[in-house]
Amino acid sequence: MESGVVHIFKEDRCPLGQPGQCVPNFTWQPGLSDIFNYTPNGTWDAEPEPMSPIIPIIVAVYSVVFVVGLVGNCLVMYVIIRYTKMKTATNIYIFNLAVADALVTTTMPFQSTDYLLSSWPFGEVACKVFISIDYYNMFTSIFTLTMMSVDRYIAVCHPVKALDFRTPVKAKIINVIIWVLSSAAGIPAMVLGNTNTNNECALQFPDPYTYWDTLMKICVFIFAFVAPLIIITVCYTLMVLRLKSVRLLSGSREKDRNLRRITRLVLVVVAVFVVCWTPIHIFILVKALSASVPETTAVMAAYFFCVALGYTNSSLNPILYAFLDENFKRCFRDFCYSLNEEQSISVCHVDFAGRPKCREEVGSLNCCKRNYNSSLN
Of the listed ranges 60-69, 214-223, 256-265, the least confidently predicted one is 256-265
Q: Residue 200: name the closest of 59, 4, 10 by CA.
A: 10
Q: Phi and psi for 236 in degrees, rounded to 5?
A: -75, -30
pLDDT at residue 50 greater than cutoff 80: no
Task: With beta carbons less than 8 A apart as the criterion, state whether 79 and 328 touch.
Answer: yes
Is residue 87 over pLDDT 80?
A: yes
> Which stretches within 199-296 are classed as H helix?
209-221, 227-245, 253-289
Instruction: Give the closest residue to 99 by CA, choosing from 17, 16, 197, 172.
Output: 172
Nearest to 189 by CA among 233, 239, 139, 259: 139
pLDDT exceeds cutoff 50 at 354:
no
Looking at the predicted structure, is the pLDDT value of residue 370 above 50? Answer: no
Rounded Cα–Cα distance for residues 53 and 80 (Å): 42
Cα separation, 255 vs 259, whole angstroms: 6
Cα 15 off chain centre by = 37
Q: Which domain holds residue 310?
A: 4-326
Q: What is the pLDDT of residues 66-77, one digit of tens each?
A: 999 999 999 999
pLDDT band at 342 (very low <50, low <70, confident <90, very high): low
CB 36 within 8 A of CB 50: yes
What is the widest separation between alpha-carbon atoms in the chain?
A: 87
d(CA 133, CA 186): 7
Three-class DSSP category at 291: coil
DSSP summary character for residue 207: S
Q: Give 43's DSSP letter.
A: -
Query: What was the pLDDT predicted at 227?
Result: 94
pLDDT at 233: 92
**Residue 341 has what pLDDT?**
56
How many independent structural domains does the chain possess? 1
Single pTM value for the model: 0.76
Q: For 271-300, how does the pLDDT look when each residue is reduced to its tens digit (9 = 90+)?
A: 999 999 999 888 878 877 776 767 677 777
Residue 27 lies in a domain: yes
Helix (H) or strand (E) holding 183: helix 168-192
Counting residues of the chain whose pLDDT is more than 90, the rounded percentage is: 26
Digit-coded pLDDT (tens) for 313-323: 989 988 888 78
Looking at residue 43, what is its pLDDT?
A: 33
Q: Tell me the pLDDT band of 174, cut-offs 50, 70 and 90.
A: very high
- Residue 83, in any domain of the structure: yes
**What's the rounded mean pLDDT across residues 25-49?**
34
Asked if the structure places residue 115 within a domain, the reply is yes
Residue 339 lies in a domain: no
User: Residue 107's closest CA among 142, 140, 139, 70?
Assistant: 70
- Side-chain half-sphere CA neighbours of 188 within 13 A: 14
The answer to whether residue 291 is domain-embedded is yes
Residue 105 belongs to domain with CATH number: 1.20.1070.10
Residue 194's beta-bridge partner residues?
202
Mean pLDDT of 10-23: 42
Give the CA distances from residue 114 to residues 21, 30, 32, 136, 306, in Å, rounded to whole numbers and listed in that order: 28, 7, 7, 20, 18
User: What Å distances lie between residue 1 and 43, 70, 103, 226, CA to CA?
Assistant: 36, 12, 9, 17
CA 288 to CA 79: how far, in whole Å? 42
DSSP state letters, 258-271: HHHHHHHHHHHHHH
Give 326 or 317, the one with higher predicted confidence: 317
Confidence category of residue 259, pLDDT binned at 50, 70, 90 = confident
Q: Is residue 158 assigned to a domain? A: yes
Over residues 95-150, the pLDDT tens digits come to 999 999 999 999 999 988 888 888 888 888 999 999 999 999 999 999 999 999 99
Q: Could you give the residue ranges of the DSSP H alpha helices within 83-167? A: 89-105, 108-117, 123-157, 159-165
351 assigned to some structural domain: no
